[in-house]
Amino acid sequence: MSADWPAWEVFVRARRGVNHVHAGTVHAPDAGLAIENARDLYTRRSEGVSLWVVRSSDVVSSDPDERHSMFDPAADKSYRQPTDYELPPEVAHM
């Protein structure tokens, strides 16, 4: 049976107002059981208030071999960091 069970990526929201965060993977024959299995594996110690599951095969990844062309060009563009800008004194509470 296990060979037929696809993998599902599990995302857990720890509490109201924060994002769902990737927690791990479960195997399940369908979406309903994937949610139940995720509940039993990843929220058994009160880790969450909401779950998402997504078929692992539906996740599209960036190519690790292209990581240099994908991500390195961002490294020398510090002007994109907000710390490079001086705040006008009129702007309070930043």
**Is 45 a binder of other proteins (CB under 8 A)?**
no
| Mode of pairing for the β-strands spanning 20-27 and 50-55 | unpaired
Of 4 and 90, which CB lies nearer to other proteins in the complex structure? 4
The single residue listed with the structure tokens 């990843």 is 42
| Mode of pairing for the β-strands spanning 20-27 and 7-13 | antiparallel
**Is 20 a binder of other proteins (CB under 8 A)?**
no
**Is 24 a binder of other proteins (CB under 8 A)?**
no
Of 55 and 67, which CB lies nearer to other proteins in the complex structure? 55
Long-range (24+ apart) CB contacts under 8 A made by 30-39 are 34/8, 34/10, 37/8, 38/8, 38/10, 38/12
CA angle 62, 34, 26 (to 5 degrees): 55
The least CB distance from residue 5 to other proteins, in Å, is 6
**Is 33 a binder of other proteins (CB under 8 A)?**
yes
Of 24 and 70, which CB lies nearer to other proteins in the complex structure? 24
Site of interaction with other proteins (CB under 8 A) = 1-2, 5, 26-30, 32-33, 36-37, 39-41, 44
